Amino acid sequence: MNPLKTLGQFIIEKQADFPYAKGELSRLLRDIGIAAKIVNREVNKAGLVDILGTVGDTNIFGEKQKKLDVYADEQFIKALKSGGECCFVASEEQEDGVELTDTGISKNAKYIVCIDPLDGSSNIEVNVSVGTIFSIYRRKSAVGNPLTHEDLLQSGVDQVAAGYVIYGSSTMLVYTTGKGVNGFTLDPSIGEFCLSHPNMTIPQKGLIYSINEGNYLKFPQGIKSYIKYCQEEDIQTNRPYTSRYIGSMVADIHRNLLLGGIFIYPQTATQPLGKLRLMYECNPIAFIIEQAGGKASTGKQRIMEIKPDDLHQRVPAIMGSTEMVDKVLEFMSKDS
Segment among 40-54, 186-200, 236-250, 278-292 with least mean pLDDT: 40-54
Q: For 140-151, what is each residue's pLDDT tens digit?
A: 999 888 899 999
Contact 160, 85 (CB under 8 A): no
pLDDT in tens, 239-290: 999 999 998 999 999 999 999 999 999 999 999 999 999 999 999 999 999 9
> pTM for this structure?
0.93
Phi, psi (degrees; rounded to nearest 5) at 2: -75, 145
Say what the pLDDT of residue 59 is. 67
- Please tell me which residue, 92 or 19, carries the higher pLDDT value: 92
Instruction: Give every strand in the sheet of 130-138, ordered side by side.
Output: 98-99, 86-91, 111-119, 130-138, 159-167, 171-176, 181-187, 192-197
Q: What are the pLDDT digits (tens) for 71-85?
A: 999 999 999 999 999
DSSP track, 161-224: EEEEEEESSSEEEEEESSS-EEEEEEETTTTEEEEEE-S----SS-SEEE--GGGGGGS-HHHH
| pLDDT of 127 strictly over 90 | no
Q: What is the C-alpha radius of gyration for the chain, rounded to an integer number of angstroms? A: 19
| CB hemisphere CA count around 27 (13 angstroms) | 16
Q: Which strand (E) or helix (H) includes residue 160?
A: strand 159-167
Q: Would you place residue 99 in the very low, low, confident or very high pLDDT band (cuts 50, 70, 90)?
A: very high
Task: Output the pLDDT for position 47.
Answer: 66
Percentage with pLDDT > 90 across the chain:
73
pLDDT > 70 in the chain, percent: 91
HSE, CB side, 13 Å, CA atoms: give it for residue 71. 20
Tell me the C-alpha to C-alpha distance, in Å, between residue 131 and each of 73, 167, 192.
12, 6, 18
User: Smallest Cα–Cα separation from 226: which of 154, 299, 286, 277?
Assistant: 299
The mean pLDDT value of the chain amounts to: 91
Whole-angstrom distance, CA of residue 329 vs CA of residue 218: 18
- Per-residue pLDDT band at 205 (split at 50, 70, 90): very high
**Domain regions of the chain by residue span:** 7-197, 208-335
**CATH number of 7-197: 3.30.540.10, 3.30.43.10, 3.40.50.10190, 2.60.40.1120?**
3.30.540.10
If pLDDT is split at 50, 70 and 90, which confidence band does 6 have? very high
**208-335 CATH fold:** D-Maltodextrin-Binding Protein; domain 2 (3.40.190)
